[in-house]
Structure 1
Amino acid sequence: MKHLLPLLILLPALAFAQGQDSKTTCADKRLLQAETLKKSGIFLPVFKHYCYSDQSGNYVLYLAEKQDVKGEEKLSSTVEAHLLKIEADQSLSSIASIRDKANADEAGMEFWSKLTEISDIDKDGSVEPILVYRFYNKKEDRPAEQDAFSGRIKIVMFYKGSKMVIRAITGTLDGERETTATDNFFALPVSVQKHLVKKMANMYEDNLYGFDNSYQFKPVNKPVKPKTK
């Protein structure tokens, strides 16, 4: 299930090529060579990779999925993302990474690559990549439940070398839905917080995912409602 609304993406420097999905992709084929990936600690199959530049240098962002869950959808038990800086000597240095796994009672997970953003949200000269990936519930008559009000989701932003995470669970009842964020979300510039909240609101309005809208889609830093069985 690789769908979802396209988003405006910051145009890359001339050294980088434009991908077919309107995301910035890398012209340097070396970045996908097995030796390069091995040295960078990337061992899962690379699903997407993007390049961008800002005032601090040139970067490559890898999305990797195991894609080991059998069924109609290419779901994974494990996904990874790696943000690396391309140094002057063309070596790669790690800036931030994520590695996540689906629970045993879930059907699997995947990146929603059409919701990836690579842009300078707060106009400070530094790019803030945003990634979205979803965990799917199992369903008796098919491998994964695709309904917008099932499963859970994570939105990850790499901001100035640190990792910010929004976690959301959903359900058909209001009391089942909850959106929380790591502490550093609340220290982000107001413009960045508003951008992320608007992103969730848009996903809700487009029937992509049923976020909790109790607080106008704003996440909280701890659960505030009891779960409904």
Structure 2
Amino acid sequence: MKYLLPLFFLLPALAFGQGKDSKTTCTDERLLQAETLKKSGISLSVFKHYCYSDQSGNYVLYLTEKQDVKQGEDKLSSAVEAHLLKIETDKSLSSIASIRDKANADEAGMEFWSKLTEIGDIDKDGNIEAIIVYRFYNKKEDRPAEQDAFSGRIKIVMFYKGSKVVIRAITGTLDGERETTATDNFFALPASVQKNLVKKMANMYKDNLYGFDNSYQFKPVKARTK
């Protein structure tokens, strides 16, 4: 029989036992209270939130979306945000890292792909990494959002030791239209972490979710300086 314990009683060993790709459930209702969100600078609607613990403490990751673009029965967003916060011993929240992004004017909108969220100790150093994915959709005359695997652009963001590692990809039906780049800190990551991110993109390509450039076996290149 499994028991759900309040977040602040979770032992680090329990967090490690969840393994890679785990998505933990937040049991503290206070984390979704309007006052808590306001104090944390979270203004968009909370789409998903995850709680986890490691040797450095307890954390909550919020994925938030504006959800202001109607697409039939569903909604896309013109803007999304993600906030990683540490839960202090007095239960206050302190910001570790965040992202704020917007769709371009010529795009139909964007959304998080929560099924691709990954939370786990990838490099086995006792600290948990969080990986999130969100996609931008093209506009098309016959339907508002083109969801073909070879259209639009995508971003994969990893929160690693308080920093943000970002992979940006654009795709197309022709090989020359596709490109995958990464921020400089990607190339300083441990080999196991780089391999995990590359494998994630290869699997997305294999599952026909997104048409990444596979010129270098899905490895990103450094972004060109302007």
- What is the TM-score when the length of structure 1 is the normalising length? 0.88
* CA distance in structure 2 between the partners assigned to 1:113 and 1:70 by the alignment: 19
Q: What are the ranges of 5 or more consecutive residues in structure 1 without an aligned counterpart?
A: 1-12, 225-229
Partner of 1:69: 69
Q: What is the identity, as a one-letter code, of the residue corresponding to 1:29?
A: E
Aligned-residue offset at 1:23: 2.2
AA at the equivalent of 1:59: Y
Deviations 1:145-203 (A, max 9, x none): 01000000000000000000000000000000000000000000000000000000000
Aligned to 1:203: 204
Helix, strand or coil for the counterpart of 2:70? Answer: coil
Identity %: 87
Letter of the 2:183 counterpart = T
Distance 2:114 2:144 in 1: 21
Q: Is the contact made by 1:96 and 1:162 (CA closer than 8 Å) also made in structure 2?
A: yes
Distance 2:122 2:138 in 1: 32
1:155 aligns with 2:156: yes
Whether the 8 Å CA contact 2:198–2:218 is kept in 1: the answer is yes
Normalised to the residue count of structure 2, the TM-score between the two structures is 0.89
Residue 53 of structure 1 corresponds to 53
User: Any residues of structure 2 matched to 1:11-22 within 5 Å, and which?
Assistant: 14-16=5-7
Partner residue in 1 for 2:87: 86
Question: Displacement of 1:15 after TM fit?
Answer: 3.4
List, as ranges, runs of 4+ consecutive aligned residues in structure 1 with deviation greater than 3 Å: 13-17
Give the 3-state SS of the residue equivalent to 1:46 in structure 2: strand
Q: How many Å apart are 1:70 and its aligned residue?
A: 1.5
> How far, CA to CA, are the matches of 1:145 and 1:53 in structure 2?
38
Give the structure 2 partner of residue 114 of structure 1.
Answer: 115
Structure 2 CA distance, aligned partners of 1:176 and 1:14? 49
Corresponding pairs, count: 208
The alpha-carbon deviation at position 222 of structure 1 amounts to: 2.7
Which residue pairs with 2:167 in the alignment?
Answer: 166
Q: Which is richer in helix?
A: 2
SS of aligned partner of 2:131: strand
Give the secondary structure class of the aligned counterpart of 2:59.
Answer: strand
1:39 is matched with 39
Contact 1:178 1:223 survives alignment (8 Å): no
Unmatched segments (≥5 aa) in structure 2: 11-21
CA-atom RMSD in angstroms: 1.5
Q: CA deviation at 1:214?
A: 0.1
For 2:147 and 2:62, how far apart are their aligned partners in 1? 25
Any idea what SS the aligned residue of 1:185 has? helix
CA distance in 1: counterparts of 2:205 and 2:6, whole angstroms:
36
> Which residue number in structure 2 is paired with residue 194 of structure 1?
195
Alpha-carbon contact 2:5-2:27 (below 8 Å) kept: no
For the residue of structure 1 that corresponds to 2:199, the secondary structure is helix
SS at match of 2:146: coil
Distance 2:145 2:169 in 1: 18
Relative to its length, the structure with more strand (as a share) is 2
